[in-house]
Structure 1
Amino acid sequence: MKYSARNALKGKVKEIEIGQVAAEVVIELPGGAQVVSMITKESVDNLGLKVGKEAYAIIKASNVILGVD
């Protein structure tokens, strides 16, 4: 697999919640942190996503905004 994004986080699919239009997919990373992504139901099928399957959260963003109180 090749991609131009700088951040690819490998984990396992922990949960898939299918909605009317989109699906919320939770990927658990080693150490327990979680990444949540909203994708189409068609993408869930095309990728063959199932709970327990390994997957990558690939993040490409021009800005990451941080904040503090």
Structure 2
Amino acid sequence: MKVSARNALKGNVKKVIPGAINTEIIIEIAPGVEVTSIITKASAENLNISEGSPVYAVIKSSDVIVAVD
């Protein structure tokens, strides 16, 4: 896989939560560290995503916002 995005985090699918239109994918990138992505149901099906699948969380953004209380 080649991708221009600089932030690609390798992990395994911990949980798949399908919906009518979108599917929520929870990816464990390290023990106790998770990233959640919401993709279309069709994309999840086309990628054959299931629990335990090795995947990459590819993050493409021009801004990262940091906040504190």
Q: Same fold (TM over 0.5)?
A: yes
2:15 aligns with 15
Deviation, 1:30, is 1.7
- Give CA-to-partner distance per residue, 1:3-62, whole Å, 9 cap, x none: 111100000000000111100000001232000000011111111111001000000100
Deviant stretches of 4+, over 3 Å: none
2:47 aligns with 47
Whole-angstrom distance in 2 between the partners of 1:61 and 1:32: 24
1:3 aligns with 3
Could you say what secondary structure the match of 1:29 adopts?
A: strand
1:37 aligns with 37
Sequence identity (%): 51
Structure 2 regions of 5+ residues with no counterpart? Answer: none
Instruction: Count residues with an aligned counterpart.
Output: 69
Whole-angstrom distance in 1 between the partners of 2:21 and 2:42: 9
